[in-house]
Amino acid sequence: MNIAFIPVRGGSKSIPLKNIKEFCGKPLVYWTIKAACESANIDEVVVSTDSAEIKTFVNSLPWSNVRVYDRSMENAQDGSSTESAMLEYLNEPKTKQINYFVLLQATSPFTTAQMIDEAFKLCDKYDSVLSGVRFKRFLWNENGSPLNYDYKNRPRRQDYNGLFLENGALYISKAESIISHKNRISGNIGLYEMPEYTAIEIDEPDDWTIAERLFNKYNTKETARTSQNIKLFLTDVDGVLTDAGMYYDEQENEFKKFNTHDGMAFELLRNAGIKTGIITSENTQIVTRRAAKLKVDYLYQGKRDGGKLGAAREICEKEGIELNEVAYIGDDINCFELLSHVGMAACPSNAVKTIKTIPNIIQLKTSGGSGAVREFVELILA
């Protein structure tokens, strides 16, 4: 089997927790994982980390061939090499038989599945393959002598072949060679050329700003947090459509307070051709009547196998859509799993702290029962 290995430490002095910091709408490491999962040559994706937060995010991803490897603290220090993390994993007794080992860097989000597959084509000719870009800059030694050109016969840029600059995006080698040489590359090395903009590595705050602009320019089809692909809107009830209050009269009749602005939101969604649904853990006639008033397409009440995520998957199957085409708003821990899997997730301003830690979740300005659903719907339809 071939595996993609993505090392992501939790520690970072320049950009704290940068590997799960939002980059163009998704945590940075998401883009590299996505590319690996979509590659025709990758069987399994291994994310090596020492961070509980990164582990929680990776485990929330919908791809079945992604798993986390708990990297030791010894190999997660500032001075630890990437090779130390690679060898730690490869020397594990439980490690499956690996043919090709592909090292991918989360700090190179421009890498795509197509690039990985193109690089694999070079493996027939070479022992190892590394990626890089064509570098057409003139370099000088500190003693004032040119390093890579003759300044007396300065070539024009268009006539200059330049040098090959390693961009740190991907490396492919046989697993046995890595173990033998204790290095990511060895033997006869092939060079896979990537576009010039992929040369930037995100290590400093300024790198981040520049990289996002480049990503949006060259990867517009991949940019996340877009409402254009949303085909289904789902919501929780208590704490979202209501203020989470439980009201009773002297006869012990239960009441819930809903918001008319949220009601109009469902009409706006219908007019936009987006299906709607309510998923709630409770089972009450109040919600049944409210759902009928809102004319939702799906109402799931009560506890069921698979929880709220299972209910959403059941609806997706009926509609013939994927979870990344679903928008969902929830506020409490029983919404965590579903919020972590949908394409567009949001929570009211008064949601519990655990929900607000979900990577890429939209934290609304409005509280539950006060128009939070309307605010989210307007973002979707904007």
With CA atoms as reference, report the closest residue to 382 among 338, 355, 344, 329: 344
**% of the chain exceeding 70 in pLDDT:** 95
Distances (CA, A) of 244 to 161, 255, 293: 66, 11, 20
Helix (H) or strand (E) holding 136: none
Question: For residue 69, what is the DSSP state?
Answer: E
Pairing state between β 326-329 and 362-363: unpaired
Q: What is the pLDDT of residue 24?
A: 81
> For residues 118 and 170, what is the distance between their CA atoms, to the nearest angstrom?
12
Kindly give the parts of the chain with pLDDT less than 50: 220-225
With CA atoms as reference, report the closest residue to 368 among 262, 218, 230: 262
> For residues 220 and 228, what is the distance between their CA atoms, to the nearest angstrom?
13
Per the prediction, the chain carries an average pLDDT of 88
- CB proximity list for 18: less than 8 A, separation 6 or greater: 12, 28, 107, 202, 208
For 55-112, the pLDDT digits (tens) are 999 998 878 899 999 988 887 777 788 899 999 999 887 677 899 999 999 999 999 9
Q: Which amino acid is at 105?
A: Q
With CA atoms as reference, report the closest residue to 199 among 190, 191, 189, 207: 207
For 299-345, the pLDDT digits (tens) are 999 866 678 999 999 999 999 998 889 999 999 999 998 998 888 99
> For residues 343 and 325, what is the distance between their CA atoms, to the nearest angstrom?
6
Asked whether the beta carbons of 291 and 266 are under 8 A apart, the reply is no
User: Hey, how many other C-beta atoms are within 10 angstroms of the C-beta on 299?
Assistant: 16
> For residues 52 and 46, what is the distance between their CA atoms, to the nearest angstrom?
15
> For residues 81 and 77, what is the distance between their CA atoms, to the nearest angstrom?
9
The structure tokens listed for 312 are 């959403």
Asked whether the beta carbons of 234 and 328 are under 8 A apart, the reply is yes
